[in-house]
Amino acid sequence: MDLEASTSTPTSTMEVHKVAVPKEKTTLDSLKHFLVEFFFPDNSMHKFKNKSFFMRVVLALQFVFPILEWGPHYNLNLLKSDVISGITIASLAIPQGISYAKLAGLPPILGLYSSFVPPLVYAVLGSSRDMAIGPVSIASLVMGSMLRELTLVNEDPSLYLQVAYTATFFAGVLQASLGFLRLGFILDFLSKPTLIGYMGGAAVIVSLQQLKGLLGLDHFSNQMGIIPVIQSIVVNRKEWKWQALVMGVSFLLFLLVARHISSKWPKLFWVSAAAPLTSVIISTIFSIIFKVSHHGIRTIGHLKEGVNPPSMDMLNFKGPYLGLAVKTGAISGILALTEGMAVGRTFASRKNYQFDGNQEMMAIGITNMAGSCTSCFVTTGSFSRSAVNCNAGCKTAVSNMIMAIVVLLTLLFIMPLFHNTPNVILSAIIITAVIGLIDIPAAVKLWKVDIMDFLACMAAFFGVLLISVPMGLAIAVGISLFKILIHVTRPNIVIMGNVQGTKCYRSISQYEEVTGVPSYLIIGIESPIYFTNSMYVQERILRWVREEEERVFMLKESPLRCIVLDMSVARIDTSGLAALSELKKKLGDKYLEFVLANPVGEVTRKLFRSKALESFGPERIFMTVSEAIAGTLIKFEQDSSPLNQ
């Protein structure tokens, strides 16, 4: 080839940049950097920089007790808003609390206890202004379904309570530890798609179980599977009571219509907020007037007046049920935390204030630990009540305190009124709450956007439905992790070409204006090169090379001379380094040049340390694909120029 002619091509006049090896760091430095990035990505200490000792103490106290930060600026205007929203959420919290306690298999009054102490504790520790604390459906149902096995072994209600409080304590310990040890990222492993499937499945099961109440059945399966539940309904069809069914369905329709109105016209949020309490009041009056209990419709029954009794002595850290308590606490605690974090982030983002995930986990964890000593079960920030709280115009956590005061008054003075509330109303409230967890549009979107996410969602859904609620969660997490491994095991590898008129190289299959470079095969890897895929990457590249050689041979184009690997997307480990060396050798055996373009900092450092850089030679590592082509072209021309022959 004529050297003169070739130098006039635009590529070869280009300056070639040296790929710099990042400044040498010791292995321990890298480890330290990694640990800091891992545990303190938010650089949470930056507030403390350049401050006096006194200010640091103040800031530290404010960090632990956010109430010290906003409390001093509190005024009457804020209070007005908080009182309105506090009363609004209390009207929702009372019927929901009773229902969710029933869902967890606990005495209804625990639902009220749990709406009293935890909101007060959280108001001091929490940084979210909108979060309404109390029992939530998903954690209650998990608790109920997991503790159900106790009722099979032992009918003793005080044992059930003991295990429930102990589980609540462990949930709190786990939540606080995750926050304290800055391991909050573990929650991210429960991906949204799997949660959609999981919650949908749980909602279906819970709704089916509420048919016990709606149909007024006396006997019902203790199991959570879809098959035993349907069996129970069919087998006990002689127990069906039309009175219960009519009453239940009427109130269910009322609640659903109220919910629909509020979701259609957000300004009417109070319609759905007031509906549950309205239903309870109406049905209770109805129940008293018509003496429904004489028609076989069950009512809540006697509830003891008074505030939360201490339950410290019921925490039991030994005995045969400790394992069950730990497991139940762990799973319901994680799910409660997931909901709480989502609630906190959503409203912090909507109103644009800071929300520190790890700190919030500690707040919720301590709240639950305190709750377990005062006759409460697992609580967290509830999505539905927080939304109402926000819509009702809450300003600070004082709305939680107001709610707690309203609940306290209820506990002290109007408990006997609930005596005649029919159970069927609680079933209707539970169904309305959980039906909102079934998110079909989200599942459809997953199907359209990301098939793997859709499969994960479905697996979690059917795992809950067909196996069990805790197993469904295990399946959901397993699939989420498996998805990552699959992506890392089979990364995308693309063939790239030149974008006409530029020095850019892009995937041939993505851009139409991209053309291949004769004698070159440019390969881009859209993933790190790890031990899980190093073999695949190697074999897949060799297959591209083989196919390209066949194609070039068939079409009689100029033969393949050089493979450029665009590393821009890659991290690498030692197996990946070995694969690159192996590839270089194998391509060398075919008399093909193999060069790397754009290795990132960490990759360059590892290439350097592993001596792979030496075996490649710095002249085979380029900053860009275009420089790689220019650089190798010059070499080929020199090799084939008459002077060298």
CB nearer to its own copies: give 262 or 532: 532
Residue with tokens 């002077």: 643
Task: For residue 308, give the H/E element and its range.
Answer: none
CB 617 within 8 A of CB 594: no
Output the smallest distance, CB 490 to its own copies, in A.
Answer: 5
Question: Residue 524 in 3-state DSSP?
Answer: strand
Output the smallest distance, CB 340 to its own copies, in A.
Answer: 14
Question: Residue 309 in 3-state DSSP?
Answer: coil
CB 296 within 8 A of CB 216: yes
CB nearer to its own copies: give 185 or 290: 185
CB nearer to its own copies: give 228 or 478: 478
CB nearer to its own copies: give 321 or 530: 530
Output the smallest distance, CB 171 to its own copies, in A.
Answer: 22
Output the smallest distance, CB 610 to its own copies, in A.
Answer: 5
Output the smallest distance, CB 601 to its own copies, in A.
Answer: 4
Please name the amino acid found at residue 489.
Answer: T
User: Across-strand partners of 622?
Assistant: 597
Tell me the DSSP string of 402-422. Answer: HHHHHHHHIIIIIGGGGGG-B
Output the smallest distance, CB 526 to its own copies, in A.
Answer: 6
Question: Residue 306 in 3-state DSSP?
Answer: coil
Tell me the DSSP string of 162-193. Answer: HHHHHHHHHHHHHHHHHHHTT-GGGGGGS-HH
Tokens of 483: 């998805």
Number of H helices, E strands in the chain: 26, 9
Cα(113)–Cα(100) distance, rounded to whole angstroms? 12
Output the smallest distance, CB 500 to its own copies, in A.
Answer: 9
CB nearer to its own copies: give 20 or 440: 20
Of 583, 565, 558, 549, give the one whose Cα is nearest residue 636.
558
CB nearer to its own copies: give 116 or 355: 355
Output the smallest distance, CB 27 to its own copies, in A.
Answer: 5
Output the smallest distance, CB 30 to its own copies, in A.
Answer: 6
Question: Residue 238 in 3-state DSSP?
Answer: helix
Please list the helix, strand and coil fractions of the chain in percent, rounded to the nearest 5, in that order: 70, 5, 25
Output the smallest distance, CB 546 to its own copies, in A.
Answer: 9
CB nearer to its own copies: give 281 or 495: 495
CB nearer to its own copies: give 313 or 512: 512
CB nearer to its own copies: give 227 or 451: 451
Where do the H-state alpha helices sit in 104-136?
Answer: 109-113, 117-125
Cα(290)–Cα(268) distance, rounded to whole angstroms? 32
Please name the amino acid found at residue 102.
Answer: K
CB nearer to its own copies: give 384 or 533: 533
Question: Residue 435 in 3-state DSSP?
Answer: helix
CB nearer to its own copies: give 77 or 352: 352
Output the smallest distance, CB 591 to its own copies, in A.
Answer: 13
Of 641, 534, 544, 630, give the one whose Cα is nearest residue 578.
534
Output the smallest distance, CB 148 to its own copies, in A.
Answer: 29
CB nearer to its own copies: give 261 or 578: 578
**In this structure, which long-range contacts are made by residues 278-281, counting pairs with CB atoms below 8 Å and at least 24 apart in sequence?**
279/95, 279/251, 279/254, 279/255, 279/425, 279/428, 279/429, 280/94, 280/95, 280/418, 280/421, 280/425, 280/429
